[in-house]
């Protein structure tokens, strides 16, 4: 039996061993009843720790491929032969892609726990409930009533059949983007549910298995995993306090010849950094020179608290090389997924084909409500309310973190967005233990290492969100977090 473990592969060693043995059994290369090497012998054969082999054998046993007996070792029992006996159960583990089975889910677990019970959540990034005062709710109801009256009560009957989205909304979005210096016509905009769906659809349009994408590091686990599931190679580009380091980006472009460069340009998740104007111009120059499109994720750009908005890559682009992703997840209504892709016309024309082919359902009611809110100025009023509320929460959280900063911790005050990126004091960088202790105190945060999927950093960082929690929760939660740090 020949088993090889590729130590350069991201698939865990035990999974590589499991998959190879399953394949041999299913192909009939290993007859039923064959004795497998002992745990120690297999570990030596594969040059791995014995515990790795134990884990692989336990999974094979759970899936019905092998059995074991005390003192007798492991023996294959799976049979592909059909007969009159008991039918074999479907082995789902062998059917589900290993990339999905091995996917890191800690981020999703912490995010889903953020909105349960009485916990104080600094983990998620939902819109704060206090944004929706009675007058805002009344305005939203009035917006829907007006639209219904204007359309004879036929709200949402036919908009779902328009692959690119509701025509009136596309027009309003074009005007909205023009206010940001971004000149895309309605025909250059495609509605989507959110940025994750946009990247998935664009992947179908632009990427093939084995292609390479450059991403800023630290990087969003959501975005990274979308590319990972498409068997696209993600190459991280380092960042600093001015954003993406363009010298590194150029050398990586020359080496890997990527198909796309993904950037989170405004109030980066998780660092809160906003890429400087000079770096934006430099990256655009690289994009034009090497012919590599920029995929700009700009959802947080409206949440600015000091100074003026930074021009987006899309507004600076004169070479038509930017695909602009915009989501209203953080600024409109919680639980109402809606966003869009704005790009050169050939991209949108063919992207609409992908949307239509996949039968992607665009929520008509959400589109109508967003259209009316943009048209009447309600959305802009909500943004002003958010900026005021989130600025106060940001300042409060930063002020309460001062004891940690005096102990040697580090945290820059972001100019916008919804995150503080906190480097813990030396000696307190056991983030997993800190997370466990904080959860006991009903406080949640996101460990920094989750934003470094290649294991290149983040162990001493945590991400704190200040948009969702109330001021009272921040006042209670940050001291509890500091208590947990002091207990380590």
**What domains sit in the chain, N to C, each tagged with a CATH number?**
13-93 (1.10.10.10), 106-125+381-487 (3.90.1150.10), 134-376 (3.40.640.10)
Range 208-215 average pLDDT: 96
Judged by average pLDDT, the poorest of 26-40, 135-149, 289-303 is 135-149
Helices 13-26/50-62 angle, 10° precision: 40
The least confident of 48-62, 340-354, 466-480 is 48-62
| Residue 463, pLDDT above cutoff 50 | yes
Preceding omega of 309 cis (within 30 degrees of 0):
no
Structure tokens at 140: 């939203």
**350/202 Cα distance (integer angstroms):** 10
CB-based contacts of 72: which residues, under 8 Å, 6+ apart?
none
Give the pLDDT confidence of 327-346 residue by residue, as tens digits: 998 898 877 789 999 999 99
Q: What is the mean pLDDT of residues 278-304?
A: 96
CB burial string 169-182: b at 16+ within 10 A, e below? bbbbbbebbeebeb
pLDDT digit string, tens, across residues 60-70 = 888 888 988 77
CA distance linking residue 94 with residue 73, whole number of Å: 23
pTM: 0.79
Average pLDDT over residues 266-277: 94
pLDDT band at 112 (very low <50, low <70, confident <90, very high): low
Lowest mean pLDDT among 34-38, 404-408, 482-486: 34-38
Strands (E), 136-287: 189-192, 212-217, 233-240, 243-244, 260-264
For the cut 50, the answer to whether the pLDDT of residue 85 exceeds it is no
> Who wins on pLDDT, 340 or 10?
340
Span 65-89, average pLDDT: 67
pLDDT score of 444 more than 90:
yes
Single out the residue of 271, 309, 320 nearest to residue 448, CA to CA. Answer: 271
8 Å CB contact between 457 and 224:
no
pLDDT at position 384 is 92
pLDDT at 307 over 90: no
Token pair of 419, please? 């995150």
């Amino acid at each position: 039996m020949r088993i090889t473990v590729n130590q350069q592969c991201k698939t865990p060693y035990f999974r590589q061993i499991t998959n190879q043995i399953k394949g041999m059994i299913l192909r009939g290369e290993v007859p039923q009843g064959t004795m497998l090497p002992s745990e120690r012998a297999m570990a030596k054969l594969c040059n791995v720790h014995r515990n790795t082999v134990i884990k692989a054998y336990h999974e094979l046993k759970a899936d019905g491929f092998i059995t074991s007996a005390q003192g007798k070792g492991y023996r294959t029992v799976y049979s592909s032969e059909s007969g009159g006996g008991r039918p074999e159960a479907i082995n789902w583990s062998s059917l589900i892609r290993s990339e999905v089975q091995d996917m890191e889910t800690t981020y999703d677990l912490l995010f889903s726990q953020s909105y349960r019970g009485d916990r104080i959540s600094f983990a998620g990034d939902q819109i704060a409930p206090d944004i929706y005062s009675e007058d805002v709710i009344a305005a939203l109801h009035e917006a829907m009533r007006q639209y219904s009256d204007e359309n004879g009560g036929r709200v949402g009957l036919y908009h779902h059949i328009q692959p690119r989205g509701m025509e009136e909304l596309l027009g309003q979005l074009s005007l909205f983007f023009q206010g940001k210096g971004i000149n895309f016509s309605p025909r250059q905009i495609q509605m989507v549910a959110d940025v994750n769906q946009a990247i998935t659809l664009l992947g179908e349009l632009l990427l093939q298995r084995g292609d390479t994408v450059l991403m800023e590091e630290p990087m969003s686990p959501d975005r990274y995993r979308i590319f990972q599931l498409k068997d696209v190679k993600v190459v991280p580009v380092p960042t600093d306090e001015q954003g993406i380091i363009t010298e590194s980006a150029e050398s990586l472009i020359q080496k890997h010849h990527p198909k796309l460069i993904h950037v989170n340009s405004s109030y980066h998740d998780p660092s809160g950094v906003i890429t400087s104007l000079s770096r934006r111009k430099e990256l655009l120059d690289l994009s034009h020179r090497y012919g590599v499109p920029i995929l700009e994720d700009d959802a947080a750009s409206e949440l600015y608290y000091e100074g003026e908005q930074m021009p987006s890559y899309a507004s600076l682009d004169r070479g038509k090389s930017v695909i602009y992703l915009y989501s209203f997840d953080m600024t409109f209504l919680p639980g109402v997924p809606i966003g869009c892709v704005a790009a050169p016309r050939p991209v949108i024309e063919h992207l609409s084909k992908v949307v239509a082919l996949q039968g992607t359902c665009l929520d008509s009611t959400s589109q109508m409500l967003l259209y009316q809110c943009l048209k009447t100025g309600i959305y802009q009023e909500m943004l002003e309310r958010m900026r005021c509320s989130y600025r106060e929460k940001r300042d409060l959280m930063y002020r309460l973190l001062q004891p940690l900063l005096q102990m040697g911790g580090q945290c820059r005050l972001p100019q916008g967005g919804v995150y503080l990126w906190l480097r813990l004091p030396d000696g307190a960088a056991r983030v997993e233990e800190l997370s466990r202790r904080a959860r006991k105190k009903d406080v949640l945060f996101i460990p920094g290492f989750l934003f470094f999927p290649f294991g290149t950093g983040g162990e001493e960082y945590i991400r704190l969100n200040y948009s969702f929690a109330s001021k009272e929760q921040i006042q209670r939660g940050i001291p509890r977090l500091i208590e947990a740090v002091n207990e380590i």
